[in-house]
Structure 1
Amino acid sequence: MNGLSELIDSLEVKFFKLNQKLIQLEKINLDLNEQLLTSKKIQQQQSEEIASLTNQIDSLKMINSLLGSEENKRETKLKINSLIREIDYCIAQLSD
């Protein structure tokens, strides 16, 4: 009977330790999930900022070309031609 009591006590101690470890791991998991959400929000904000800055760069390149910069004239001409084709297409669609 004494051996059974010791076995039960040993199991209780092991169960308590496992339970404490489970609680600790759940807290760590919650912290990591919060960090993940924060990182995703930051990544989304940075992606939006990158897209915005890329648009600004494109606009500045076009403005420089229109102001006489030789570096981006070709790009600006291609963009203007593309816009003219789109306008012509719209006009053709409206006239049909």
Structure 2
Amino acid sequence: MNGLSELIDSLEVKFFKLNQKLIQLEKKNSELQEELLVSKKTQQQQSGEIDSLKSQLDTLKMVNSLLGSEENKRETKLKINSLIREIDYCIAQLSD
């Protein structure tokens, strides 16, 4: 009978330790999920900022070309030609 009592005590101790480990893991999981959400939000903000900066860079390249910079003249000419074609198309549509 004494062996059975010791076995039950041992199982109780193991169960308690296992339950404590489960509580720790659930807490850690919750912390990691919160951290993941923060990381995703930060990534979305940074992605939006990158897009904005790329747009600003393209605008600055065009402005530099218009001001006489030799580096991006070809791109600027192509963009201007594209805009002129769009304007001509709109005028033609309005004329009809």
Tell me how far apart the structure 2 counterparts of residues 37 and 55 of structure 1 sit (CA, whole Å).
27
Give the aligned partner of residue 18 of structure 1.
18
Deviation at 1:72, TM superposition (A): 1.1
What is the TM-score when the length of structure 2 is the normalising length? 0.88
2:81 maps to what in 1? 81
CA RMSD of superposed structures (Å): 1.5
The alpha-carbon deviation at position 31 of structure 1 amounts to 0.9
Q: Which runs of 4 or more aligned residues in structure 1 lie more than 6 Å from their structure 2 counterparts after TM superposition?
A: none
State the one-letter code of the partner of 2:14. K
Residue matched to 2:5: 5
Identity %: 85
Number of matched residues?
Answer: 96
Q: Which amino acid aligns with 2:48?
A: E
Q: Which runs of 5+ in 2 are unaligned?
A: none
Per-residue CA distance 1:36-90 (angstroms, 9 max, x = gap): 1111111111111111111101001111111111111100011112222333344
CA shift in 2, pair 1:2/1:69, >3 Å? same
- For 1:12, the aligned partner's letter is E
Unpaired stretches in structure 1, ≥5 consecutive residues: none
* TM-score w.r.t. length of structure 1: 0.88
